[in-house]
Structure 1
Amino acid sequence: MPRARTALTTTTALALALGLSACGGTSAREPAPTDDATLYPADAAVETSIGTYFAYLAAGSSEAAAELSLPEVGLDDDLAMLLLDDTYAMIDGRPKLVEIGEVTVSPGEDDARATVTYELAGAEHTDEIALTRIADRDDGPDDYAVLIPDGEWGIDTTGAELLPSDTVYRIGGWDVSAAFRSAAGWAGGGTPPRLPAFGGSYQLEVTVPGDGGFTDTVEIASSTFYVGDASDGALEALAHEHGY
């Protein structure tokens, strides 16, 4: 009998506690208000965009990376041929993100700077990159694009203007002659423009057809984030080596 009485007493206590709660004890708390800045802070959005950008580069998805780059480059232009996936997939030593360091966002959150450490062609680099916001989202982190030196990044084509107009250029077996011929045409007797190209080592096969022609390969590197490269002038040296 004592055991039954204890069970009854416990049941009654539970019923009373539930009744008191239902009759207006402690009311449920309202959720704390949030806004986009709390849910999706700008520095985290910058880091997400950087991570996505480098993931595209590492995978050889250069066309997607170009969508997250400024200034915009028309991918249907012959000069942008090295930015196509078919070309970039053939490149060795594409950038791989190691670490994102300090991130600084402007007061209006439109611009940002970040220190990134990445591997490129077997060497580790640390650079500060600039970004600008390209999409302001209410349901997720904003998108930021990487700012690249306009007209100063990519591959040096100096020397293309010295070679015959029917010279054939290939990267990984992929014919990119249109890009180099276009650069030579733009030179107009001066220095040809650089070809936009993301980071990596480009094994460029050059073929001058006909009698006295040649086929040779030169390695040209691109850095993406800083101007020029140690391989600048490599194509010109190749042309001179073969008497052009």
Structure 2
Amino acid sequence: MRTAGLGLFWILLTGATVGDPVASKAEKARQQYEQGEYEKALQTYRDAQVENPDSPLLHFNVGDALFKMGDYETALKEFEQALVGEGEELQPRTLYNMGNAFFQQQEFQKAVEAYRQGLELNSADEDAKVNLELALEMLQQQQQQQQQNQEQQDGDQEQEEGQQQNQEQQDGEEQRQEEEQQNQEQPQEEQQQDEPQDQQQNQQQQSGEEEQEEEDQPQAQQGEDEMSPEDAQRLLDALEDREKKAQQRRFRSSGKARGEDW
């Protein structure tokens, strides 16, 4: 980028009025500027502005010193003040310097506009043409980079949304499987809880049946041994009759004569 044209109006300013205190300070500032003492030159120009605050030439040179110091933002404000005044020769150079300041700030669109406005006032400015072409190239690269960054950002956002959606689906699937597992485990737990109760009931029922059988068996045996009063009387009569016959046999046996005695 070409920076020719900065400080072009020092000679015009210093030679405007011989013995003028503003011109004297401007000359001193020019010398400081040429020696690379930009801060001192800026301060001297500021002192001159106190006596002539509306001078477009002083605004131009103050902006030039600020540009050399790298304070492009403040330099642009001074250049804008320089455009307020009249002067066909000053305005295209001011626009050129504004284009350079915008270029340094990578505001290439504004730099292109400033160079073009300057060329409209002075189409023979070769430096402005060169810088305009360079600014257009940088603007195109900047726009392409911005587009790539936007596409990358959109891609990252889509990827993030896709990952989030996949995570939500995975979480939902895990939750569904967990609920199914819980639903499967619940009937098994109920069945396991019912089985001891059924076993206990069956055991109690079996024990009750065994106890009932034990109770029924003596009753059955007792029922079989029991006899009616008639049977008991007949049995008693039979026993008495048997006893009588036994006594009669014993009696006949004792009263019979023995054959040996004869």
- The bucket for the TM-score relative to the shorter chain is under 0.3
Larger relative contact order (CA 8 Å, sep ≥ 6): 1
Instruction: Name which one, 1 or 2, has greater alpha-carbon Rg.
Output: 2
Quick check: which one's helix share is greater?
Answer: 2
Quick check: which one's strand share is greater?
Answer: 1
TM-score (norm 1): 0.20
